[in-house]
């Protein structure tokens, strides 16, 4: 038992510093003065005083609002060389406390100009996303609560609000009540969990016994289209299946999985004594947003008793719009589904929704409850989400989702997704109508894959030499357009051809920004020497 004041290391020295401060600090109790150092900060042993926090938080929010108000005027991608930024920052942490004002000044001087502006209206690279206003507010409150959502008892409302928000999203996506779920950090984790569950469902007791060096366990196999995201291959690496366990299935003209080839590959593997465990179907592939024929694939999975995981990390958001659900036919038959709110559901990174009809199998795959985590004296069983994930600690991500869903309402989310799809359709139409450009993949959602193919090269576009020239031309075009700083586009390769991707999905983007991207593509292309 501790009596009296707690011993504080170096107390004498701190008291001296404190006296010094009393002499040197302006006798300012003005909590809005950010330049002043907080007495508690310099000589105390506690956190920032709540009133100081209030003032600093107001100033920080002002800086954040200024950033968002002016981000349009910055170049989307900073003109910096790799390795050039490190030297801007001191090599070691400061020994003495610094005022928050100095940090905010450095954010403005060193951080803002040197980041890639994901919040820029001209950000069309990868999959465009938005840290929306309500999402940022929710994120701020998550930080203030500081709760670890690992157990029900470590924050009852974090667990129960997660259940509520997961179910709101399930309903919004038009999926049946048989799906439960959780919120993870990324689709990579969600798919890792799904494939971990598939491995468990295969009945080899992998969680307890592992699969290495076991003559009783045949080689396990996972099937996904050759266009599936690399996170699926990574999950196979991580789960001890090995990259060799992933069978890349060929695709058709629209870059969607060929179900005939899938069925053939599975049956050949069974014949050869291997053990197929899972199929991953993608709705909205990363490169071109292709849609695998999920209903047909579901029938193949059901026939052979395989786990079906649907990766709709980006495309899934479109299912919030009932009229846009055609590509999702059959996904309700999946064992698990991933949709990323941090992609096209306007939620700040990170938030990934993993839904499953087989939550108990996920728990079998990942549950481990040491004594110190066991909830004592509970007549009612509790839901401890850490039992469904490879990690113990979990962020309270449901809170920001709750803010986002309530602020926009499903109606507002549908309107925004519709607008993005309409702009993408407009852009695809422009590209198709231009004899010097071509569309390289169907546009089912809000991402357009295109390339510059000047008329002069059209006739021989498939000859090896012209192909290489076109690749080079489009790479140069991408650099030229990005160098304007007005937009940021990314690229991929489709059927061996270099493709420029325009991914529309930010709430900061307006129709005029999409028009500008197209104008830049055309003007910069006209300047290039073929
Ligand atoms: C289809 C698909 N799946 C998975 C991922 C991985 O997402 P995350 O970064 O959340 O792991 C992506 C990323 O773009 C994706 O496009």
pLDDT tens sequence across 335-359: 999 999 999 999 999 999 999 999 9
Least confident of 63-77, 326-340, 368-382: 368-382
- pLDDT at position 116: 96
- pLDDT at position 81: 94
pLDDT per position as a tens digit, 266-287: 999 999 999 999 999 999 999 9
* Residue nearest atom 13 in ligand 1 by C-alpha distance: 286
- pLDDT at position 250: 98
Ligand 1 centre and the CA of 309: distance in Å?
14
Ligand 1 proximity of 314 Cβ (cutoff 6 Å)? yes
Ligand 1 centre and the CA of 191: distance in Å?
9
Whether the per-residue pLDDT at 72 is higher than 70: the answer is yes
Ligand 1 centre and the CA of 89: distance in Å?
32
Distance of alpha carbon 97 from the chain centroid: 35
Contacts of 77-80 with C-beta under 8 Å, sequence gap 24+, read 77/116, 77/117, 77/482, 77/485, 77/488, 78/113, 78/114, 78/115, 78/116, 79/485, 80/114
Tell me the pLDDT band of 123, cut-offs 50, 70 and 90.
Answer: very high
- pLDDT at position 41: 84
pLDDT per position as a tens digit, 154-184: 999 999 999 999 999 999 999 999 999 999 9
Whether the per-residue pLDDT at 366 is higher than 60: the answer is yes
- pLDDT at position 31: 47
Whether the per-residue pLDDT at 363 is higher than 50: the answer is yes
CA distances from 175 to 78, 268, 333, 400 (A): 41, 33, 10, 22
3-class DSSP assignment, residue 491:
strand
Among 126, 183, 187, 446, name the best residue to mutate to test ligand 1's pocket (greatest count of ligand atoms within 8 A of Cβ).
187
440, 451 in Cβ contact below 8 A? yes
- Which residue has 């196999």 as its token pair? 221
Tell me the pLDDT band of 219, cut-offs 50, 70 and 90.
Answer: very high
Pairwise CA distance, residues 219 & 242, whole Å: 10
pTM passes above 0.85 = yes
258, 249 in Cβ contact below 8 A? yes
Ligand 1 centre and the CA of 231: distance in Å?
7
Whether the per-residue pLDDT at 400 is higher than 50: the answer is yes
Ligand 1 proximity of 492 Cβ (cutoff 6 Å)? no
Whether the per-residue pLDDT at 89 is higher than 50: the answer is yes
Ligand 1 proximity of 446 Cβ (cutoff 6 Å)? no
Mean pLDDT of 51-57: 92
Pairwise CA distance, residues 152 & 155, whole Å: 6
Whether the per-residue pLDDT at 8 is higher than 50: the answer is no
Report the percent of the chain where pLDDT is more than 70: 93
- pLDDT at position 14: 40
Tell me the pLDDT band of 226, cut-offs 50, 70 and 90.
Answer: very high
Q: Which residue has the higher pLDDT, 95 or 10?
A: 95
Whether the per-residue pLDDT at 6 is higher than 90: the answer is no
Whether the per-residue pLDDT at 32 is higher than 70: the answer is no
- pLDDT at position 21: 42
Average pLDDT, the chain: 92
Tell me the pLDDT band of 513, cut-offs 50, 70 and 90.
Answer: very high
- pLDDT at position 29: 52
Ligand 1 proximity of 186 Cβ (cutoff 6 Å)? yes
- pLDDT at position 16: 46
Ligand 1 proximity of 225 Cβ (cutoff 6 Å)? no
């Amino acid at each position: 038992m501790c009596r009296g004041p707690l011993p504080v290391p170096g107390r004498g020295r701190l008291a001296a510093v404190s006296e010094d401060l009393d002499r040197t600090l302006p006798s300012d109790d003005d909590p809005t003065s950010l330049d002043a150092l907080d007495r508690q900060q310099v000589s105390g042993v506690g956190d920032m005083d709540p009133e100081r926090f209030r003032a600093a938080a107001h100033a920080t929010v002002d800086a954040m609002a200024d950033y968002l108000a002016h981000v349009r005027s910055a170049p989307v991608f900073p003109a910096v060389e790799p390795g050039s930024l490190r030297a801007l920052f001191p090599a070691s942490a400061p020994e003495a406390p610094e005022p928050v004002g100095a940090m905010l000044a450095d954010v403005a001087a060193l951080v803002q100009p040197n980041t890639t502006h994901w919040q820029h209206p001209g950000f069309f690279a990868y999959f465009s996303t938005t840290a929306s206003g309500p999402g940022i507010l929710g994120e701020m409150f998550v930080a203030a609560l500081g709760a670890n959502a690992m157990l029900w008892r470590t924050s009852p409302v974090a667990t129960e609000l997660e259940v509520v928000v997961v179910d709101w999203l399930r309903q919004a996506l038009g999926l049946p009540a048989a799906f439960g779920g959780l919120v993870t950090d990324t689709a990579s984790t969600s798919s890792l969990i799904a494939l971990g569950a598939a491995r468990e469902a295969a009945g080899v007791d992998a969680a307890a016994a592992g699969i290495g060096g076991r003559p009783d366990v045949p080689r396990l196999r996972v099937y996904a289209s050759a266009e599936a995201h690399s996170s699926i291959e990574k999950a196979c690496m991580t789960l001890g299946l090995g990259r060799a366990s992933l069978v890349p299935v060929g695709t058709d003209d629209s870059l969607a999985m060929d179900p005939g080839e899938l069925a053939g590959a599975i049956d050949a593997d069974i014949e050869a004594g291997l053990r197929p465990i899972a199929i991953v179907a993608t709705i909205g592939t990363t490169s071109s947003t292709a849609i695998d024929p999920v209903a047909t694939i579901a029938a193949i999975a059901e026939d052979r008793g395989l786990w079906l995981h649907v990766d709709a990390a980006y495309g899934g958001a479109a299912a919030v719009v009932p009229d846009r659900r055609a590509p999702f036919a059959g996904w309700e038959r999946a064992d698990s589904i991933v949709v990323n709110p941090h992609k096209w559901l306007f939620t700040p990174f990170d938030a990934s929704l993993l839904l499953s009809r087989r939550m108990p199998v996920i728990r079998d795959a990942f549950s481990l409850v040491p004594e110190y985590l066991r909830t004592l004296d509970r007549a009612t069983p509790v839901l401890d989400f850490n039992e469904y994930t490879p990690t113990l600690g979990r962020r309270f991500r449901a809170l920001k989702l709750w803010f986002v869903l309530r602020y926009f309402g499903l109606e507002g989310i549908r309107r925004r997704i519709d607008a993005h799809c309409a702009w993408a359709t407009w852009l695809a139409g422009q590209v198709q109508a231009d004899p010097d450009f071509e569309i390289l993949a169907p546009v089912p959602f809000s991402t357009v894959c295109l390339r510059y193919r000047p008329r002069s090269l059209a006739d021989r576009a498939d000859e090896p030499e012209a192909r290489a020239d076109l690749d080079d031309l489009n790479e140069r075009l991408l650099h030229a357009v990005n160098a304007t700083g007005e937009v940021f586009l990314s690229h991929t390769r489709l059927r061996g051809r270099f493709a420029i991707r325009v991914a529309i999905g930010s709430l900061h983007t307006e129709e005029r920004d999409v028009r500008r991207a197209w104008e830049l593509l055309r003007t910069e292309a006209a300047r290039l020497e073929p």
